[in-house]
Chains A and B, each alone.
Chain A
Amino acid sequence: MELIKAENIGKDYTAGEVTIRALDKVSFEIEPASFVSFVGPSGSGKTTLLNLIGCLDKPTEGKLTVADTDITGLDRKQSASFRGDHIGFIFQDFNLIPVLTVYENIEYPLLMVQNVPAKERQKRVASVIEAVGMTNQKDKYPDQISGGQKQRVAVARALVTNPKLVLADEPTANLDHKTAYMVLELMKRMRDEFKTTFIFSTHDQKIVGEAEIIYTMEDGQLAGREVKGGSHA
């Protein structure tokens, strides 16, 4: 059973009197525990697609099912709940909350979104914080750690709720290559450990190779699908 099923989804943006077609009849399916990348140049529709999958935006047309839920029909509150229950996010700029420590940033979704009891919270935070190797930095604030460490914290925050899906929009864009690979390795390891599906977008060709399934996007359409070890255009 697929985790994500997109059927002919399209997305239009209106700027003044001009309508821009950001996505055009995109269809695909993604299985659970996949490690998927959407690649393509800027403006190809990667971020738009990730926003639709992440319930942050709604398609203009088509049907999009995530974790057996047709997310096109969810209202604001239902969307927020759905994201909190099923999806983790990793952002290009890390987007950690500056007034919270590393530990508190990771704990935040459990505390403020899922209302997990204290004991269970401590256990889960300790588990992911150790998995991403940030135990020694847990009491530091985001401005006291490096970019790579921030992204590791962001990965831990995305995983701590045991989501079915983690979406990462250009997660390595602000990192040097060495750190970028380390973060991708970490994401892969987390996928193996937690069986979470990772979908990330990138336009960095060197990073793309780390994905197991690569979707190529051009002008709002899916131009190709490559599974490591063979091409399926």
Chain B
Amino acid sequence: MHNLFKIAFRNLMRYKRRTLLTASLVAIGVIFVLVFVGVSGSFKNMIIGQITGSMLGDIQIHRKGYVASIENLPLTLNMKPQAVARVEKALKEMPDVAAYSERIKFGGMFSTFAETTNVRLNGVYPEMEMNTVPLLSSRIVEGEKIIKKGEILIPELLAKGMKAKVGDTVVVIATNKDGSVNGKQLRVGGILESATGPGGRDGYVHIEDAVEILRMDEMEISEIAVRLKDFGKLHSVFAKLDAGLSQEHNKEGKPIFEVHTWEALSPFFNIAQMIDLMTLFIKIMLIAIVLVSVMNVMIMAVYERIREIGTIAAIGTLPGKILTMFVIEGFSLGILGAAVGTAVGLIVVFALNVAKITFSFARQTGLVLSPTIGLFDILITCLIVIVVAVLGSLQPALKASRMEPIEALRHV
């Protein structure tokens, strides 16, 4: 095998310029793929991290039918304490769950005494919420980074529009599920930066304040957000949780709960899918580049060496070995292109990290692009290049191996 590689290498070096041009083309393709995967992957992961880490959580559990009416924040579809206890039990039994947070979501009126507007609020246990969505505190741009009883965190846009500042006294008025209206004076404890996606412009109050405003006899929870220890296990944990909770039925025999990953709750998932699709197209382009360039070079190589093929076939080289010789040439071209492309791609990604390029997404500004390329992506890209290079050389190699030596020797 070593000798086959030696002959392949020398044959490639026989036409240095052509080999370098082809390898460069393959390398450029690899660079594009790696940089695109690095940049788009980092953008995607950053936004997903923001969405799940600052508001949604990785998984959410609701009473069956709640998500379909989520825009209305229906208080009639909250979970009763017994149901919440069942969910808590299930979550505590799952070692992959890092934290969870129970929320009462409701809509109401927000008044500064001078002006009144609509507001969507989350009543939360501060510690549970911060453990479940740890990036929430980073969104508090003014005020203390905690949610205290008797205080409200209001979204930035609301604060601007209503000219509300930290320390101001405001009133929150809400209608409970029985239609009774109640209000409570709260102090503005902090101002929240807007985030992308549903809930990104919601305010926060302590859960006990929410219970008081809504005059709940017993605490009814709208949703339970769950944070996982390992985000990579999202789908397996979701499957387990969904399977476990779907066994729970009410007296009518209907399921009590519904479980969703962030993907079903945030429209950014569609953008993430678009990014994945674009990555796929870029990879298909890479395949096309490698296939066409390697095939072209190998067809030329076979055509230029017909007499040589005739000679080695005449002196007894088996067709399989002739095929291997040419496939190894294509394989070597693929290796060369993949190696150079990977090296340059890593340098470009490193340079982008050093440059600290910032970008904005929706209302989020100053996000720093920090592309990273995982070993898996590098291996997959290199594997694609090498496999396609081998496939690209297969047809010319087959042609070479099937040549009749007598005809090849006659070739001028």
**A residues engaging B (CB < 8 A)?**
51, 54, 56-57, 76-77, 80-85, 87-89, 91, 93, 95, 97-100, 108-109, 111-114, 157-158
Contact = CB atoms under 8 A, between A and B. Distances in A.
A108 B10 CA distance: 15
A162 to B, nearest CB: 13
Which secondary structure dominates chain B's binding surface?
helix
B88 interface: no
B307 interface: yes
Contact of B14 (A54, A99, A108, A114): A99
Contacts of A77: 318-319
Interface in B288-327: 307-308, 310-319, 321
B307 A95 contact: yes
B406 interface: yes
B409 A91 contact: yes
Nearest to A95: B311
B162 interface: no
B3 A112 contact: yes
B266 interface: no
**A-B pairs with the 4 shortest C-beta distances?**
A84-B316, A99-B10, A95-B311, A113-B316
A169 to B, nearest CB: 9
Nearest to B7: A99
B395 interface: no
A97 B309 CA distance: 10
Given A83-B316, A113-B316, A98 B321 contact: no
Contact of B313 (A51, A80, A114, A157): A80
Interface size class of B (residues with CB under 8 A): 20 to 34
B405 interface: yes
A80 B321 CA distance: 11
A83 to B, nearest CB: 4
Contact of B317 (A57, A100, A113): A113
15 contacts: A77-B319, A81-B318, A83-B315, A84-B317, A84-B318, A89-B311, A89-B314, A93-B307, A97-B312, A98-B308, A99-B7, A99-B10, A108-B315, A112-B317, A114-B316
B353 interface: no
A80 B7 contact: no
A109 B311 contact: no
Contacts of A84: 315-318
A57 B14 contact: no
B11 interface: yes
B315 A89 contact: yes
B378 to A, nearest CB: 32
A112 B312 contact: yes
A112 B321 contact: yes
A150 B54 CA distance: 77
Contacts of B406: 51, 56-57
Residue with the highest number of chain A CB atoms closer than 10 Å, among B310, B313, B314, B318? B314
